[in-house]
Every structure is written in C-alpha cells, then in structure tokens.
Amino acid sequence: MKLLSIELDALLDGALKGNFSDNNILIFSRYYLPEDFDPYDFVSDIDLSPHEEEIFNHASLCFKAELSAKRLIARAEQHSMGLRSKLISRGFGSSIAKIVVSSLQERCLLDDERYGVLWLQNRISSSSAYSPKKLLFSLRNKGISRDDANNAMKKVMSFDTEYALLDKYIKKNKLLISQPDLKYSLSYEGFSRDTLNEFFDENT
C-alpha cells in the first residue's frame, strides 16, 4: 500500500486526510503520530512497510476516538476516568482511550480539577446537605486524584460558601447547637475551625 496524497480536512480543524493506493482514506491528527514521524515524508511511490501502515491506522483510530470524546465534552464537562470508560463502552480499546484522554488533558480540553470545581458547585447549590468530607469522598470516588479534588475544593469553598453549607448541614440533619461535642463532630466532617468558631459564636 502507498500513500498517494495528504491534504488538510477543511471540516476538521488540524486534521489530515490521507489518500492511499488501496482506495482507503484515513483521517488522522499529528497528535497521534510519533514525534519523529512526518506523514508528508511518505507521500511517494514507495510501498509502506507493515509498521508504517500500522502507525497511520492507529493514528486514525485515535482520531476517531477523539471526535467521540469531543462530542461528549461538548454536552457536559467530563473527567478522565469517566471519559475513558465512555470511550471503551463505545467500542474503542482501553489503550486507545488512555492515549486520547491523555492527549486531551495535555491540550487542556479535559481537566479533572475543572470538572471537580463544577461538580462541587452543583452539589453545594443543591437542596441536599453535604459535608466537605462527604463531597471530597464522592469526588475521589469518581476517580479524581487527591490533589485535583483538594484544589477544586479550595477554589470553591470560600468562607461564605462554607458557612452557608454548615448552616444547611446542621438544619438538614436537625442537629442541636447545644449537643455535646457537636463542634468536634463537624470538624471531623471537614468543616474548618474558623468557620465553626464563627458559626458557634453567632448562634450560641
């Protein structure tokens, strides 16, 4: 098989369309080619080796997975573990899914910390009452790393936000301010000392 020509795909930003001698057309991206592999070097009358053919086929498959991933991202913010699972469920191999997710992260199209911020904001603004500990546990349970989860929490949890969350948590769980060791229990649930002190000073 020979690579006859390469052209930019006008409909897909940054994508290349390769026309091959077996009448096959592959669309791929440089992101999924080896660093020292210039596809234009192979536009010739020389037959591609099996290894070279595999490189083009692999890049094309990765690009198809990327298009599927971008459609999911366009609908809603995704996180890395969840997106990998969704790509696998759509018929892409685990190695392809891993490569594509990594590439999207490198280009900041996928960001677990950003996902964490949006997820936390949604949970905190809901009618349910969560403690910071429960929120972090749930976020980590989605596959978000400890660092990304903690950084997301720091961005979201201002003093006013935490104070309102604490007030809602106490009311939803029908806790009594006079309950012995309540402040300690709330501290165990992840509420900060400063917020607890302020809240108890104002409500006792």
Contact indicator for 156, 120 with CB cutoff of 8 Å:
yes
Secondary structure (3-state) at 4: strand
| CA distances (Å), origin 146, targets 87, 101, 186, 199 | 24, 19, 21, 28
- Interatomic CA distance for residues 67 and 76, integer angstroms: 15
What confidence tens digit (pLDDT) does each residue in 90-132 have?
Answer: 999 999 999 999 999 999 999 999 999 999 999 999 988 899 9
| CA distances (Å), origin 97, targets 65, 69, 102, 114 | 7, 9, 9, 20
Contact indicator for 154, 162 with CB cutoff of 8 Å:
no
Domains within the chain, CATH numbers bracketed: 3-106 (1.10.10), 112-203 (no CATH)
- Interatomic CA distance for residues 43 and 17, integer angstroms: 12
Q: Which two tokens stand for residue 197?
A: 């002190």
Q: Which two tokens stand for residue 23?
A: 């009448």
Angle between helices 94-106 and 80-89 (to 10 degrees): 140
What confidence tens digit (pLDDT) does each residue in 27-52 have?
Answer: 999 999 999 999 999 998 889 999 99
Q: Which two tokens stand for residue 118?
A: 């949006």
For residue 11, pLDDT over 80 is answered with no
What integer pLDDT is reported at residue 34 of this predicted model? 95
Contact indicator for 167, 177 with CB cutoff of 8 Å:
no
Mean pLDDT of 159-163: 96
